Structure 1
């Protein structure tokens, strides 16, 4: 362990400006703030292998942040963390315990501390910056990759040879590369067999959880939010005479069943649109009679294609839109926002199953803010309802994840989003 790492233990109290002064001295010496305890240990022991974990100074600050800190000390620690982040401390690096700095604070029940908020804000900035880097295809070239301009230019290979080599390389890559994961690649998912169990919808071989029974209460909450979009502007009770509701991603049909219940109770005529792309789910829907239900319109195919078709034809606008798909990512949601502003009625409500980064609470908090920021760019505002779901993974004979490849929700609180046009 280095002197920099020792500094982050806050062993000398009270915590004063001297900590900041010492930290800046280390910076002047060129010590990077991504320098880890593991790297320091390997250096002192003469070990040349790369460490497998990254316990950074920011991790140590989060481990040793004094719970009894005075207001003055808290301000010093905040400034200390600001310097760490300013000079490249990673908000999401994983330490020897498998935790990010934010996870460490969560485990210490310090999620309401100022430095936790700093870490979340850093995560938001980092994600926005990464998005810009990818958008403009910025490339970072390592120093050892830069060829000296004085090197002689190598003779160009004949064009035919280059084409042949490229084809050989492509064939080799195709032959030996692993099949894309259905949970990460939509085309792979759509060609993957699914199976329905008593309490879940899974990919047949890999046992990825596509949808599960424990989500029922959250789906019901989502359905209720959609029907709030049936009320006309400037009215507490007057409803549209015709209400259109769209659910993207049928899955187990939990939210769609609730939508049908609410539609039966509504004095207005409710047309219920369901967009689903997976052939096994569509087959299940047909067997269960969804195609025959009155005022139900099944849109077979990817929502990107179906919503584009609705927009082009015109004439259909929605009081409520819900989004809950599998194998799609936040980038897909950003594309969906373009359609939402074109298809949602002025008083309509958009919502979605919010599992964004929900395997770690700090990442969940980062996405909570990202969604708010991104939606504001579309003229939409997002209001969250915090729903406690303690022990949502428990059941009498174990956990709901026992027969599932990976857990996709680990937070004790669910952030239910209701999204409307701003000032409505």
Structure 2
């Protein structure tokens, strides 16, 4: 084990010497992301592909203590700051399949100073990465002389695999067969598109849409993504004047047809992707008291495009909400995206408030009667749901 890693084991008493030695190691050129796995390979004289990355930050999180003195705590906080200043990764995965934040959560340090440091670093990293990606100039392959054929084929294969994943590509998803069960909507490979356990979350979403209506006798709402129709059924109970539903998947549209949604007097079904069906509403000067968003297979970059439309479709006193599953496979990622959403919506003049909702224990993959028992992969593993509600400032 290197001196850097030994320092991060936080052997007490912890003094300013820990911080000074840490700075010396980093100044000497040792990366803040230098892993135990790399040390092991160096000592064994081998060079293999790393399957995990246990970093100095992981070690600090594994060794912080609840009984640190205030002085020790501040030194450790400074050590973490120093690691981040030198490029430490907030979401690298250890041999235990944990990020540094996951380690803190497991050890009871959720909400601590150390936790806040990692979440803040995650927010900075996500915002910076997006800024870099939006300004980068990509070179076309045919502009690169002598492009390695094997490398090109590997890239094509990865692109093909990504496109074939219905959870990661909307066009693939729209071509994927769906199946309705008693408590779920699934793809043909058992991806959970929507499940009944979300009912409590949908109820909160429905209530948000009707919180600040201008005219109770002329409420106009929009739901983007019908799925199982959970929130749309709740909306119908409130008898809005107009209830717009945007849905693109042919199997879902067929289900809506069978169940009579197309025949409801106050329902207008927008058939197609929201990217195609919502812009014409702007041209018509249509405004909504409430807008809800819950689609499958789209990324946060898609939501950023949606925000451009939301600010043009929402009434001055209207409410915008969505199914907040961003980064919900790890609590630390979930909290990072919660803050990223706040920042992004603030740039659009929207203030976002979050309400904590306890999710069913059965959403834990390790639960005896887990809802994920027959599902391809869980899309939710966090113990809490942060329900978003955004309005113009």
Query: Do both proteins adopt the same fold according to a TM-score greater than 0.5, normalized to the shorter chain?
Result: yes
Greater Cα shift, 220-229 or 391-400: 391-400
> Partner residue of 1:184?
168
* Matched residue, 1:196: 180
| CA deviation profile, 1:10-37 (whole Å, cap 9, x unmatched) | 1121x22111111111122111111001
| 1:305 and 2:304 aligned | no
Residue 212 of structure 1: aligned partner: 195
Which residue number corresponds to residue 236 of structure 1? none
Q: In structure 1, how many angstroms separate the alpha carbons of the residues matched to 2:165 and 2:65?
A: 43
- Counterpart position of 1:413: 384
Provide the C-alpha distance between the structure 2 equivalents of 1:419 and 1:373, rounded to a whole number of angstroms: 12
Q: CA RMSD in A?
A: 2.3
How far is the alpha carbon of 1:38 from its aligned partner? 0.8
Name the SS for the 2:80 alignment partner.
helix
Q: Deviations over 1:219-251 (max 9, x none)?
A: 011001101131x3xxxxxx4431101000000
Name 2:2's counterpart in structure 1: 2
Match of 2:262 in 1: 291
- Cα distance in 2 for partners of 1:415, 1:291 equals 32
Aligned pairs for 1:54-203 (under 5 A) are 54-137=53-136, 173=156, 177-178=160-161, 180-203=164-187
- One of 209, 229, 249 as aligned partner of 1:253: 229
Report if the CA contact (8 A) 2:165-2:172 is conserved: yes
Deviation at 1:4, TM superposition (A): 0.6
Residues of 2 paired with 1:317 and 1:12: CA distance?
62
1:322 has 2:292 as partner: yes
Q: Is the Cα contact below 8 Å between 1:105 and 1:111 reproduced in 2?
A: yes
Per the TM alignment, residue 138 of structure 1 is displaced from its structure 2 partner at its CA by 5.7
**2:219 counterpart residue number:** 243
Provide the residue aligned with 2:34 in structure 1. Answer: 35
Q: Is the 8 A contact 2:220 2:241 kept in 1?
A: yes
User: Compared with structure 1, are the counterparts of its residues 173 and 359 closer, same or farther at alpha carbon in structure 2 (3 Å cutoff)?
Assistant: closer
Q: Are the counterparts in 2 of residues 380 and 421 from structure 1 also a CA contact under 8 Å?
A: yes
Residue of 360, 373, 386 corresponding to 1:402: 373
Whether 1:351 aligns to 2:321 is: yes
Alignment-derived partner of residue 266 in structure 1: none
Q: Give 1 or 2 for the bigger CA radius of gyration.
A: 1
Post-superposition offset of 1:175: 12
Q: Runs of 4 or more off by more than 6 Å in structure 1?
A: 394-397
* 2: CA distance, partners of 1:394 / 1:330: 24
Asked if the contact 1:390/1:413 (under 8 Å) is kept, the reply is: no
Could you list the runs of 5+ residues in structure 1 that have no partner in the other structure? 141-155, 233-238, 264-268
Contiguous gaps of at least 5 residues in structure 2: 140-144
In 2, Cα distance between equivalents of 1:177 and 1:354 = 28
Provide the rounded CA distance (Å) in 2 between the counterparts of 1:405 and 1:115. 34
Equivalent residue for 1:47? 46
Query: Contact (CA 8 Å) 2:364, 2:381: kept in 1 or not?
Result: no
Partners of 1:226 and 1:116 in 2: CA distance: 33
Matches of 2:236 and 2:156, distance apart in 1: 48
Cα distance in 1 for partners of 2:20, 2:296 equals 50
Match of 2:142 in 1: none
TM-score by length of 1: 0.86
Aligned-partner Cα distance in 1 for 2:339–2:97: 24
**Count of residues in Structure 1 that have an aligned counterpart in Structure 2:** 383
